[in-house]
């Protein structure tokens, strides 16, 4: 009786090896999709837009996966592709180039501020200063401070070492202090 059920049971269509993604791509996708969407949502401010941009990223990476694997640092290369797709997506939606202006109004500091107007002014100055950092520094700072990721998590996503992440944070904070001037510091920050 079990034999008949098996013979009569519907079968899934056969997938050829050429249609099946490489296992390394599948693993890469599973490991990075959540972080990529979180990052894209920080910039695009809409979950659906973020998912569309990341789907486009992974489609591009899948088509070029063999070439991606030949790069010196596939994770860093993929991150650059993702960052460019997020920027393209924002421009296609006729939005300002993505950065984190709106995030200023969603910070814990603003909700807990004694002087909300002063806090807004300081936060906007900080975000203007962030735009003066390199792309890599911006990415590390956004992931560390806005998304609350630790150095090993940021390192895994960006394809760098934890020591490089910590060094980038240190250099970024130093640069921000230079831009903001001596009267504005980021005391108490990581």
Confidence of residue 20 (pLDDT cuts 50, 70, 90): low
Confidence of residue 189 (pLDDT cuts 50, 70, 90): very low
Q: For 171-181, write each residue's pLDDT tens digit.
A: 999 999 998 88
Least confident of 58-62, 63-67, 126-130: 126-130
Neighbours of 3 (CB within 10 A): 7
Instruction: Kindly report the three-state secondary structure assignment for every residue of 33-90.
Output: HHHHHHHHHHHHCCHHHHHHHHHHHHHHHHHCHHHHHHCCCHHHHHHHHHHHHHHHHH
Question: CB of 116 within 8 A of CB of 166?
Answer: no
Evaluate if residue 133 carries a pLDDT over 50.
yes
| Comparison of pLDDT for 182 and 56, the residue scoring more | 56
First to last CA, the chain: 66
Cα–Cα distance, 173 to 178 (Å, whole number) = 9
Evaluate if residue 95 carries a pLDDT over 60.
no
Question: CB of 104 within 8 A of CB of 122?
Answer: no
Residue 45: what pLDDT?
A: 81
Q: Is the dihedral of CA 185, 112, 189, 136 positive or negative?
A: negative
Cα–Cα distance, 126 to 169 (Å, whole number) = 15
Confidence of residue 97 (pLDDT cuts 50, 70, 90): very low
Cα–Cα distance, 116 to 130 (Å, whole number) = 21
Evaluate if residue 117 carries a pLDDT over 80.
no
């Amino acid at each position: 009786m079990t034999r008949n059920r098996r013979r009569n049971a519907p079968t899934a269509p056969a997938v050829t090896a050429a249609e099946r993604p490489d296992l390394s791509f599948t693993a890469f996708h599973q490991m990075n999709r959540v972080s990529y969407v979180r990052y894209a949502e920080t910039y695009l401010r809409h979950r659906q837009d973020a998912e569309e941009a990341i789907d486009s990223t992974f489609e591009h990476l899948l088509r070029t996966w063999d070439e991606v694997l030949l790069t010196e640092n596939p994770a860093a290369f993929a991150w650059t592709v993702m960052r460019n797709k997020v920027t393209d997506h924002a421009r296609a939606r006729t939005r300002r180039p993505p950065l984190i202006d709106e995030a200023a109004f969603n910070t814990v500091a603003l909700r807990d501020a004694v002087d909300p107007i002063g806090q807004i002014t300081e936060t906007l100055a900080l975000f203007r200063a962030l735009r003066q950092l390199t792309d890599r520094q911006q990415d590390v700072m956004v992931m560390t401070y806005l998304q609350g990721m630790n150095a090993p998590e940021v390192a895994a996503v960006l394809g760098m070492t934890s020591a490089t992440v910590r060094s980038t944070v240190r250099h970024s904070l130093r640069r921000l202090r230079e831009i903001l001037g001596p009267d504005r510091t980021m005391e108490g920050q990581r």
